[in-house]
Structure 1
Amino acid sequence: MEVQGRIKLIADTQTFGTNGFRKREVVVTTEEQYPQHIMIEFVQDKTDLLNNFQVGQQVKISINLRGREWTNPQGEVKYFNSIQGWRIEAAQPETSGDMPPMPPADAFEPASNLNEDDHDDLPF
């Protein structure tokens, strides 16, 4: 799955526990009729992927949805979801339709090398 939008916030890397578990969060604001502020976490070695990005930048983030079950001390079962990023790249500007971009007009050679004799070579 992918999330596209503009980076609103990049948090500092946090370290937890004696094992040194690392987590870093980024908030991306989608650009649609009703923009959403999506918090995505990068964990362990993936936290370094955010070093090359900055607030305001357009990005595309590949994500996995994670869910887990937890039983509290009173025996109640609770469920938690998280959005975990595993790749981030600068978003390419959208082009309209499926057409490739048109090269500039000066990239074409003028058709001035036609022979005068070639103007009437149709077979019918």
Structure 2
Amino acid sequence: MEIKGKVHEVGAVQQVTDSFKKRDLIVQYAENPQFVEYIRFEATQDRVNIFDNLAPGEDVEVSFNLRGRPWTNKGGVTTYFNSLVAWRVTKTAPETAAPAAHVPPVDISSAPDDDDLPF
């Protein structure tokens, strides 16, 4: 899956355990500019460095996998967690509206007067 947006925040690398580290990236996603969403992506292990050269305000495309897992507490209640795991981030050019194609005006004043038309 891919999504385009602006970097809002780049988190620090978190060493969760001796053998596990992760890092967060928050991206502003504005499919509808009136309702901006802040989407949290994570990178783990050797991929935490894919966020190294990013700065707030930069336009990016994030390639990610959607992951989900259950967790059951001691009381037997199961909760489900979702994660957006980034595996590539590409800087992109800011999106702008495409310029309208320029069509030159047609000069009809010099058209021959053709009276042979049947109507």
TM-score for both structures, normalised by structure 1: 0.72
Task: Identify, as 1 or 2, the structure richer in strand.
Answer: 2
Equivalent residue, structure 2, for 1:111: none
**Structure 2 segments unaligned to the other structure (5+ residues):** 102-119
For the residues of structure 2 that align with 1:30 and 1:78, how far apart are their CA atoms?
27
Match of 1:109 in 2: none
Report the aligned-residue RMSD.
Answer: 1.8
Aligned to 1:32: 31
Q: Tell me the alpha carbon deviations over residues 9-44 of structure 1, each in whole angstroms, 9 at most, x when there is no partner.
A: 00100011232x111001000133221110111111
The one-letter code of the counterpart of 1:52 is: N
Q: Alpha-carbon deviation of 1:93? A: 4.1
Structure with the largest fraction of helix = 1
Instruction: Give runs of ≥4 in structure 1 deviating > 4 Å.
Output: none
Structure 1 stretches lacking a partner, 5+ long: 100-124
- 1:91 equivalent in structure 2: 92
For the residues of structure 1 that align with 2:94 and 2:13, how far apart are their CA atoms?
Answer: 29
- Percent identical among aligned pairs is 36
SS of equivalent residue, structure 1 residue 88: strand
Count the aligned residue pairs: 97
CA drift of 1:94 comes to 4.0
